[in-house]
Amino acid sequence: MAVVEVSIVPIGVPGTSLSTHVAKVLKVLKESSLQYELTAMGTIVSGDLDEILPVLKRMHESCFGPEVTRVLTQIRIDDRRDRKGTPEQKIRSVMDKLTDR
Amino acid sequence: MAVVEVSIVPIGVPGTSLSTHVAKVLKVLKESSLQYELTAMGTIVSGDLDEILPVLKRMHESCFGPEVTRVLTQIRIDDRRDRKGTPEQKIRSVMDKLTDR
Amino acid sequence: MAVVEVSIVPIGVPGTSLSTHVAKVLKVLKESSLQYELTAMGTIVSGDLDEILPVLKRMHESCFGPEVTRVLTQIRIDDRRDRKGTPEQKIRSVMDKLTDR
Amino acid sequence: MAVVEVSIVPIGVPGTSLSTHVAKVLKVLKESSLQYELTAMGTIVSGDLDEILPVLKRMHESCFGPEVTRVLTQIRIDDRRDRKGTPEQKIRSVMDKLTDR
C-alpha cells in the first residue's frame, strides 16, 4: 500500500492565492474513489499505486487552462509492501513513541 | 508567516519502520514553542521562518547517532508576506472553493 | 515538454551507500529511449510526460526486491506547454541572466 | 559533508518564465564561497551544512520584492558523516556501477 503526497502549483497566474487552482485540481481527486486528506502543504492520497498514479496525472492535466501553460507538480511516494500501512497508522505509530518519551 | 513541511529520513538503519527515528526528531520540535502538526508524509510547522529554521536544523542533527551516519532531510517552505495565512486558513480556503463546485 | 526530476530511495537496507540501488533503478531508464542526466541529488528526465511517467513507475518497481520492501520515491515535474524548454535551455536562460548582472 | 538541492519559486508573478527570478536568487549564492552547480530543476550546493543553510535563507529572502510577496522554497539535504562525499563522487559511484551491468 502506498501513501502519496501531491502538490500542484500553476506558474504565471496573477495573484498570490492558489486556492482556486488547488480546488479545481482536487475536484478530479474527489471524483475518484481514492482516499485522500488535504493538508496545508499538499494532498495525501493512499491506496494502490497503480490506481493513484493515473489520477495524479489527470489532476496535473486539469491544472492547465487558457491562462495556465506551466505547472509544477511534486509527488512523494512512500510505498511499503511488507505490511499494510494506512496514513492513520503511520501517524499513530509515531505518536505512540512520542508519548512514551 | 511561513508554513513549512519537513521530512527527515535516516539511511542505513535496519528495518523498514522509521517511526522510532521520527519520534526522536519530533521530540526536538515538541520542546520548541512552535505550532506543528504531524501528517502521514511529514510534519507541518508554522510561524516565523527565522524561528523555524534553527529548530529544523536541530531536528536534522538529532537524527544522527551511533548507528545513523547519513540523513536525508526535505524542507518545503510556503512563505507568504501579503497576509497572514495559518495552515488552517490555507486548508479552509481550498475546502470552501471545493464545496462550491 | 516536461522536465522531471526523480529520486528513489530504498528503506531498511544495511549500509549508508545507496549507489547500487540507484544504478539498478537507472538501468530501467537507460533501456528506455528517454533523455536523462544524472545529478548528485537525483536524475533529470525530459520529454513527453505520457512517456516519462510509465518509465518512472517501472524504475520505482525495480527498486523492490527480497531485501527491499519499502521505497520512497520523489518526482518533481516542470511541465511547460507555452514553448519547448529543454533542460539545457532552462539552464542557459538562467546563466545568461546571471552573467549580465 | 552535505549535498543540498534548493529550488525557489516566486508565486503570483506574471509570465511563465522564472529565469530572471532564479538569476536574482543565484546572485546571492554566487557571492558566497560555496561550491554550487545549476541543474534544470534546481541548484546543488555542497559543503558544511552550517555554512549552507544561512546562504539558502538569504537566497529565499532575496526572492521577495515589490511584486513578489509569496515564495515557495524547497530544500533537500543529503548529509553524510561517515565519509566525505562530494557531488562528483556521488555521481561517479553510480556511473561506475551502471557501466558494470
Residue A84 buriedness (CB in 10 A; 0-12 / 13-18 / 19+): exposed
Contact D19, C93 (CB under 8 A): yes
Can you give the pLDDT at residue B100? 62
CB atoms within 10 A of CB A10: 23
Whether D70 contacts chain A with CB within 8 A: yes
Q: How far apart are CA B72 and CA C76, in angstroms?
A: 17
Over chain D, what is the mean pLDDT?
A: 94
- Please check the confidence at residue C47 and state whether its pLDDT lies above 80: yes
Q: How far apart are CA A37 and CA D47, in angstroms?
A: 37
- Indicate the length of chain B as a whole number: 101
Residue numbers of the domain that contains D34: 2-100
Q: Nearest Cα to C76, choosing from C94, C53, C58, C95?
A: C53
Q: Residue D80: list chain B partners with CB under 8 A.
A: 69-70
Whether A17 contacts chain B with CB within 8 A: yes
* Lowest-confidence region among A22-26, A50-54, A73-77, C85-89: C85-89
The ipTM is 0.95
CA distance D82 to chain C (A): 8
Q: Using the beta-carbon criterion (under 8 Å), do D77 and B76 form an inter-chain contact?
A: no
Can you give the pLDDT at residue D85? 80
CA distance D83 to chain A (A): 27
CA distance B101 to chain D (A): 24
Can you give the pLDDT at residue A100? 62
Sheet hosting strand B35-39, strand order edge to edge:
B35-39, B42-47, B2-10, B70-80, D70-80, D2-10, D42-47, D35-39
Can you give the pLDDT at residue C87? 94
* Lowest-confidence region among B12-16, B70-74, C81-85: C81-85
Contact D64, D8 (CB under 8 A): no
Whether A20 contacts chain B with CB within 8 A: yes
Task: Pick from C77, C78, C90 the residue to mutate for testing the A interface (most A CBs within 10 Å).
Answer: C77
Contact A74, D76 (CB under 8 A): no
Which pLDDT tens digit goes with each residue over A36-95?
A: 999 999 999 999 999 999 999 999 999 999 999 999 999 999 999 998 889 999 999 999
CA-nearest residue to D18 within chain C is C94
Which pLDDT tens digit goes with each residue over D44-73?
A: 999 999 999 999 999 999 999 999 999 999
| Confidence tier at B85 by pLDDT (50, 70, 90) | confident
Can you give the pLDDT at residue A84? 80
Q: How far apart are CA C13 and CA A65, in angstroms?
A: 44
Task: Work out how many domains chain C is built from and give that number.
Answer: 1
Q: Using the beta-carbon criterion (under 8 Å), do D93 and C17 form an inter-chain contact?
A: yes
Q: Nine-digit cell at D59?
A: 537566497
Contact A70, D16 (CB under 8 A): yes
- Percentage of the residues of chain D whose pLDDT score is greater than 90: 87
CA-nearest residue to D24 within chain C is C98
Q: Tell me which residue has cell 482516499.
A: A35
CA distance D40 to chain B (A): 19
Which pLDDT tens digit goes with each residue over D78-98?
A: 999 998 889 999 999 999 998
Can you give the pLDDT at residue C100? 62
Query: What is the CATH classification number for the domain harbouring C33?
Result: 3.30.70.930
Whether C23 contacts chain D with CB within 8 A: yes
Contact B58, B52 (CB under 8 A): no
- Please check the confidence at residue D77 and state whether its pLDDT lies above 80: yes
Whether A27 contacts chain B with CB within 8 A: yes
Over chain C, what is the mean pLDDT?
A: 94
